[in-house]
């Protein structure tokens, strides 16, 4: 069983898929020097500038070219450098890629992967730290993926590249160096959650880097006799309602925790869906935990105030169990 970093797991998968399918290619800023986080290191040397295309600084041009290339038969993997910068190309993604199959009556498809490094990362401040995954779940036609482990970053990226739908693929910057076992290189299907930790007293649903905070909180709670079940959604659209329902039916309590802003966050969708479906089986109100609706600060003490921490998750779980 191989041990890989989160970044290397994706890079390994990308190389495999490019060797397997000559229609897979990459474009984006800084790819010629291996990517801003080194996630393309070594690929320009193997595949050359025709398939690892180093683009000028114009997100709209990059994504617009990729949408056209996808509609004419290739499978582009677009590097947006930061999720925040992808907002410069939101029309190309939301109004073109997401709608093309419907608008053309199924005569075309858009097999496109848009990689958007997301999340807070060592004082990167308000324009380089956002988690915007909830925006894309609102758009019909888009798949939204948020891997939390090296294994998932390998298997989900493989599925994303092979998908015939446009995929917004959001990798947390703070996970690039995370190491973990990667048992195989098989694709992981969309819409199938992972039980990160089994428990019987409270369900904690999360995704991306916050999964690790939730797992740490669960381990802390276990020392107090509270067994929390942690569910990693892996993909936000589609999302695994069946796994969440099964867990909440067992525990009777639900917390949805995510790094993105709590107001209008995808946690509200999970919370409302569970509350509607399992109202009579809940032992306590459904709770959400996310960042406050403020710009992300540069100063570390202020940035830390916005984080969803293991301590915050554990405290909310204790309160629920006592009800």
Q: Which residues are catalytic?
A: 128
> Under a CB-based contact definition with an 8 Å cutoff, are residues 179 and 150 in contact?
yes
Helices and strands in the chain, H and E counts: 12, 14
Show Cβ contacts of residue 58 under 8 Å, excluding neighbours closer than 6 positions: 88
Determine the 3-state secondary structure of 164 from DSSP: coil
Taking each helix axis as running N to C, give the angle between helix 150-162 and helix 6-20, from 0 to 180 degrees, rounded to the nearest 10.
Answer: 30
241-251 helix and 266-277 helix, angle to the nearest 10 degrees: 60
Q: How far apart are CA 296 and CA 43, in angstroms?
A: 33
Q: Which is nearest to 264 in space by CA: 290, 285, 240?
A: 290
């Amino acid at each position: 069983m191989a041990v890989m970093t989160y970044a290397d797991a994706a890079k390994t998968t990308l190389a495999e898929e490019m060797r397997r399918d000559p229609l897979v290619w990459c474009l984006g800023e800084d790819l010629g020097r291996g990517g801003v986080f080194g996630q393309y290191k070594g690929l320009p040397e193997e595949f050359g500038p025709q398939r690892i295309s180093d683009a000028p600084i114009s997100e709209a041009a990059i994504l617009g070219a990729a949408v056209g290339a996808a509609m004419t038969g290739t499978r582009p993997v677009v590097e947006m450098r930061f999720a925040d910068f992808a907002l410069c190309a939101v029309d190309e993604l939301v109004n073109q890629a997401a709608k093309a199959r419907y608008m053309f009556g199924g005569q075309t498809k858009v097999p496109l992967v848009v990689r958007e490094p997301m999340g807070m990362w060592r004082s990167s401040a308000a324009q380089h730290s956002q988690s915007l995954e909830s925006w894309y779940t609102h758009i019909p036609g888009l798949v939204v993926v948020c891997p939390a482990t090296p294994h998932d970053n390998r298997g989900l990226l493989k599925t994303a590249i092979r998908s015939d739908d446009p995929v917004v693929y959001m990798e947390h910057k703070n996970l690039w160096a995370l190491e973990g076992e990667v048992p195989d290189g098989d694709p992981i299907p969309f819409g199938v959650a992972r039980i990160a930790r089994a428990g019987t007293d409270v369900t904690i649903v999360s995704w991306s880097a916050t999964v690790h905070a939730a797992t740490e909180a669960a381990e802390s709670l276990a020392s107090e006799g509270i067994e929390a079940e942690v569910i990693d959604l892996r993909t936000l659209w589609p999302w695994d309602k069946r796994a969440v329902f099964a867990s909440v039916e067992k525990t009777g309590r639900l917390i949805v925790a995510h790094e993105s802003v709590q107001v209008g966050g995808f946690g509200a969708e999970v919370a409302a869906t569970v509350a509607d479906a399992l109202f009579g089986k809940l032992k306590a109100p459904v709770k959400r935990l996310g960042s406050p609706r403020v710009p992300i600060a540069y100063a570390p003490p202020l940035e830390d105030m916005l984080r969803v921490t293991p301590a915050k998750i554990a405290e909310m779980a204790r309160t629920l169990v006592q009800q």
